[in-house]
Chain A
Amino acid sequence: MRESHTGTSSGEGWKLPGMMVRRVEREVYEIFIGPQHPGSGHMRIIVRLDGDVIVEADPDIGYVHRTMEKLSEVREWLKPIPLLERMTIIDACNITVPYVNALEKLMDKSPPPRASYLRVLLCEINRVASHLYGFGIFGVFLGHSTMYMWAFGDREVFVELAEVLTGARLTHTYPIPGGVRRDMPQDFPEMARRAVRYMRRRLEEYRKIFLDNPVIVRRLEGVGVIPRNLAAELGIVGPNVRASGIKYDVRLVEPYEVYDELDFEVPVFEEGDALARTWVRVEEIKQSLNIIEQAVDWLERHKGEPVIPKEDFDKLPKLHKEVYEKTGRVKLLPAHASMKIPAGKAIARGEMGRGEIVYYVESDGGTTPYRVRVVTPSARNAVIFKYIVPGHRLMDLPAIYGSIDYFPPESDR
Chain B
Amino acid sequence: MSDDTYEARVITLPVERATTAARQTAATAAARQVAAVGAWSVDDWGRDPYLVDATIRLGALRWRTVVGGAERLPVRAGALIVVNARRYALTPIFTALALTQATDRPVRFVGRPDIAPVGPFVRRLGGLLDRPDEVAGALRAGELVVMGAHPELHPRRVGRVDHRLVGAAVATQVAVFPAATASSPLSRSARVEVGAVARPGRRRRGPLIELELADAVEERIQRLLDQLGGAQTGTPLDWLPLSGMGGG
Q: Do A and B come from one complex?
A: no
Spell out A's residues near B (CB within 8 Å).
none
Spell out B's residues near A (CB within 8 Å).
none
